[in-house]
Amino acid sequence: QQPVQSPQAVILREGEDAVINCSSSKALYSVHWYRQKHGEAPVFLMILLKGGEQKGHEKISASFNEKKQQSSLYLTASQLSYSGTYFCGTGHNDYKLSFGAGTTVTVRA
Amino acid sequence: DTGVSQDPRHKITKRGQNVTFRCDPISEHNRLYWYRQTLGQGPEFLTYFQNEAQLEKSRLLSDRFSAERPKGSFSTLEIQRTEQGDSAMYLCASSLTTGDSPLHFGNGTRLTVT
């Protein structure tokens, strides 16, 4: 049930954009996105509940295609503070999340 | 909101010893989760409580692992007869009951089994 994330890693220069994908083999109730910096706890970014829904958080947004069981996270005009590992958490019911292996984002000046 | 706190932050133990970790969730959160995270991987679900009831436990979890949440407040995770493969970061998270509530993670307990 673990979702598959791609790419595994991405290196950006400040101001560049990136897309992180998350796909599941099972029907999804929700998709959560979290960011974890080295040695810290994962921090919540956003939840998507409905098919085709998009949400935004500063210059970070996400979409959820319920039919394709996929979600994408968009990093726009990246900043140094965006560096970290991004995890998608997929929910097949209303209480349990399964996390992908993560995508490590490095933003360089 | 003081956040989720976990104790201890680090634990080094010898193989075969028992260890216990504590998690104090955000006070108004009914749901409490334990996850395990190894290097380069995402958090792996271990178990879930709704108030004091343990409603799901991962099938991957051996019977050496046990968790409790007496009175629906703090929770403890005990590992008996530790093995080197138990070395990992153990994360606790809590959330409200509604399905669209985010998980709030603690800083974790890093276990090293020598």
Of the candidates A106, A29, A9, A12, the residue with the CA atom closest to the CA atom of residue A69: A29
B109 confidence band (pLDDT: 50, 70, 90): very high
**Cα B10 to Cα B45: distance, rounded to the nearest angstrom:** 20
Q: Would an 8 Å CB–CB cutoff place A55 in contact with chain B? A: no
**A47 DSSP β-pair partners:** A32
Q: Is the pLDDT of residue A19 over 90?
A: yes
Average pLDDT over residues A29-44: 93
**Cα B62 to Cα B48: distance, rounded to the nearest angstrom:** 15
**Cα A95 to Cα B98: distance, rounded to the nearest angstrom:** 8
pLDDT at A68: 86
Of the candidates B92, B110, B104, the residue with the CA atom closest to the CA atom of residue B47: B92
A28 confidence band (pLDDT: 50, 70, 90): confident
Residue whose tokens read 């009951």: B97
A50 confidence band (pLDDT: 50, 70, 90): low
pLDDT at B27: 93
Percentage of chain A modeled with pLDDT above 70: 93
Please state the separation of Cα B32 from the chain's center in Å: 8
**Cα A19 to Cα A39: distance, rounded to the nearest angstrom:** 24
User: Would you list which residues of chain B are within 8 Å, Cβ to Cβ, of chain A?
Assistant: 4, 31, 35, 40-45, 48, 50, 55-56, 91, 98-100, 102-108
pLDDT digit string, tens, across residues A75-91: 999 999 999 999 999 98
Lowest mean pLDDT among A90-104, B5-19, B100-114: A90-104
A96 and B105 within 8 Å at the Cβ level: the answer is: no
> In this structure, are residues A48 and A65 in contact, taking their beta carbons and an 8 Å threshold?
no
